[in-house]
Structures are given as structure tokens and as C-alpha cells.
């Protein structure tokens, strides 16, 4: 009797054997250079999703996203830099693939988001890192840097504000009034920017809450991605559809309005952050979309007052500068974060 067992006669054994062989082949295959991993950790009872790429022993760059996006905004930058850097891009609670507790279940403040991100870096063992700060990422990251300056190797600032000049424009007028009174009616809404919004709604007067809800509509999300760009046809509609699907989740509107309100906690901290710049002088790269109407170039120039080791670039694009000038920004980061001895070698 032949002792050799023909596994093709036992379909289940054949399937299992095939899976084992496939698994062995996959496990033996190294991760491709530039591959991005999608992971999560638990912080204070919340699932924090994050993207990670590059060697863990390389210099770390922590990428902090803006509104209304998530780590999705770094989807192209990460593989572009992963050959030389360790890149980590988390989603805040309420954004991307992280937990989305309601406003009654979670303290949606910039203080708390910074605390969560600080604990996130500890959980991942990130002892020293550079920060990429964009939009909401700036007040979160500057809180982290001012609290733990010894952890910060460098700053990369892209349309992220730390000076009153950066919010001295029409866009911010009703938001500033909202900080004073969440029940405000038609306060700061009579400038040209917001008159266009009222006209679109067919109203001569609106509550500030109602007006700010425009900022979480599909039209406003698309505008954030396309306003100020050189060629709108180069900007993928996937951007605003991905972001909008998450904004449209039940309860997410309350989260965004709460953070619009709590953004008012940031300007009082500007002097503290500026003092951090002056005292610790972190090497800083500014790559700023100059045609951004939310954080215009007026907010970029003041950094020159406080930072000595500064590289400054205004780019001919809008708010989400990575979408149109991602290659330029990647090249600037690569050059900026490479030690001088390597640059000249």
C-alpha cells in the first residue's frame, strides 16, 4: 500500500496546505521600500488610528493633520520620504479612522487633543522627533513642543498659525465672535467673505452657529482643497469626498462646532509659543501655501521675528499645499532634515 497521501483527494487539507505555503511566501517577502502601514493603539480608552512608514531607527517625523482632513492628507508625502525617515501620522479622535466619541463622551478641546497626541508618542516610544504642523496640527503640536522642548528636533510648518496676524482677516471674524458667544447672531458676517455665504443661503441674517455649519458642507470642503490652486484639474475629488463622508457621520457636526469654539483657546497661548521659539530656537522649515484665505501668508512672515534658524518658502498654491506642491515640499523636507555633513558628502 502506498503510504503517500494525495492531498488533492481531501479538499480541506489541500486548502490548508495552500494557505500555509502562501503565508510562508508572504512572510519571507520584505516590506517594500516606501510602504505605508495602517495601525492603531488605545489611548485613554480611544482607538487612535495612524499611518506609519520608513525604518523605525531613522529620524522620526510626526505628521499632525488639519481640518477637515486626517492622516489621509499625508498619503503621498509618506512614501516619498520613507526611504530616509520614520514617518508617523495619527488621526485625532473624531477624525479619520480613530474613535469618534460624542461631545458628551469626550472633551473636544485642543488641550485634550494635544494630551492624547503626547500620550500617543509615549505609547509608540517616540523620544525625539520633528513635527509637521498644518492647520489644527499647529496648536496641537505647539502645545506639545512647549511642554516637551527636549523632544523636538525640528519644526516643519505648513499653513499653521502662531501669530495674531494669521487670523486677522474676514474668514475669522464670525469665528472670533463665536468664541465670545456661541449664541451670537450675525456677528462678523457682514464682510465680503461671509456675505457670499449668506447670499448662497438666501439670507440677510444668520446665527453664527448656522453660518459656521457652512464650513462642514461638501461645498466648503471642496473649496478648501481647490481655492488658490494653480490648476483645479490636478486636485483629486477623492480628497473632499473622503473628508466629507467622515464629516457627515451623525454627531460629527457637533464635534466640529465644538472645536471651532475651542480654537479660541489658541490665541492666548501665542505668546507662550513665541517664547518657546525664541528660547529654544528649533530649526524650522516653512512651506506655506501663499493663496490660502484661511491662514494667509500674513501668518507666515511673523515667524521670522522669533526664529533664527529658519528656511522660508511661500508656495504658489492654496490651503492644502501638499496636493499641488507635494513633490516640492518633500524635496524641501528631505534637504532640510538631512544633516549638513550629509548634504556636502
Catalytic residues: 319
The answer to whether 92 and 117 have CB atoms below 8 angstroms apart is yes
Crossing angle of helices 238-247 and 218-226, in 10° steps, is 140
12/321 Cα distance (integer angstroms):
53
Edge-to-edge strands of the sheet including 60-64? 36-43, 46-53, 86-90, 60-64, 129-133, 152-157, 284-289, 310-315
Contact 48, 120 (CB under 8 A): yes
> Cis peptide leading into 174, omega within 30 of 0?
no
Report the distance separating Cα 111 and Cα 265, nearest Å: 8
Please check whether residue 54 is in contact with residue 84, taking contact to mean a CB–CB distance below 8 angstroms. yes
CA-CA-CA-CA torsion sign (232, 235, 238, 243): negative
- DSSP, collapsed to helix, strand or coil, labels residue 256 as helix
DSSP-derived letter for residue 40 is: E
DSSP 54-109: S-TTSPEEEEE--SS--GGGGTTHHHHHTTT-EEEEEPPTTSTTS----TTTS--S
Amino acid at each position: 500500500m502506498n503510504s503517500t497521501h494525495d492531498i488533492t483527494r481531501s479538499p480541506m487539507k489541500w486548502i490548508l496546505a495552500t494557505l500555509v505555503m502562501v503565508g510562508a511566501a508572504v512572510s519571507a517577502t520584505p516590506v517594500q521600500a516606501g510602504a505605508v502601514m495602517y495601525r492603531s493603539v488605545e489611548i485613554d480608552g480611544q482607538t487612535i488610528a495612524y499611518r506609519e512608514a520608513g525604518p523605525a531607527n531613522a529620524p522620526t517625523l510626526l505628521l499632525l493633520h488639519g481640518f477637515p482632513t486626517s492622516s489621509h492628507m499625508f498619503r503621498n508625502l509618506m512614501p516619498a520620504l520613507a526611504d530616509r525617515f520614520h514617518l508617523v501620522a495619527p488621526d485625532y479622535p473624531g477624525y479619520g479612522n480613530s474613535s469618534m466619541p460624542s461631545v458628551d463622551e469626550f472633551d473636544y478641546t485642543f488641550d485634550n487633543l494635544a494630551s492624547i497626541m503626547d500620550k500617543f508618542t509615549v505609547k509608540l516610544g517616540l523620544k525625539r522627533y520633528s513635527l509637521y504642523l498644518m492647520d489644527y496640527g499647529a496648536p496641537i503640536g505647539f502645545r506639545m513642543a512647549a511642554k516637551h522642548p527636549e523632544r523636538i528636533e525640528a519644526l516643519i510648518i505648513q499653513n499653521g498659525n502662531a501669530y495674531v496676524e494669521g487670523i486677522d482677516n474676514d474668514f475669522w471674524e464670525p469665528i472670533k465672535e463665536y468664541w465670545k458667544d456661541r449664541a451670537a447672531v450675525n456677528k462678523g458676517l457682514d464682510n465680503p467673505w461671509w456675505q457670499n455665504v449668506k447670499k448662497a443661503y438666501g439670507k440677510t441674517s444668520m446665527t453664527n452657529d448656522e453660518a459656521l455649519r457652512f464650513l462642514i458642507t461638501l461645498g466648503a470642503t471642496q473649496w478648501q482643497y481647490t481655492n488658490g490652486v494653480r490648476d483645479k484639474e490636478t486636485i483629486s475629488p477623492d480628497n473632499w469626498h473622503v473628508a466629507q463622508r467622515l464629516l457627515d457621520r451623525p454627531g460629527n457636526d457637533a464635534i466640529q462646532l465644538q472645536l471651532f469654539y475651542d480654537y479660541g483657546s489658541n490665541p492666548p497661548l501665542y505668546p507662550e509659543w513665541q517664547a518657546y521659539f525664541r528660547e529654544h530656537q528649533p530649526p524650522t522649515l516653512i512651506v506655506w501655501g501663499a493663496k490660502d484665505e484661511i491662514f494667509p501668508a500674513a501668518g507666515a512672515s511673523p515667524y521670522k521675528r522669533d526664529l533664527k534658524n529658519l528656511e522660508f518658502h511661500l508656495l504658489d498654491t492654496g490651503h492644502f499645499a501638499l496636493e499641488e506642491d507635494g513633490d516640492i515640499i518633500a524635496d524641501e523636507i528631505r534637504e532640510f532634515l538631512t544633516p549638513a555633513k550629509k548634504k556636502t558628502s
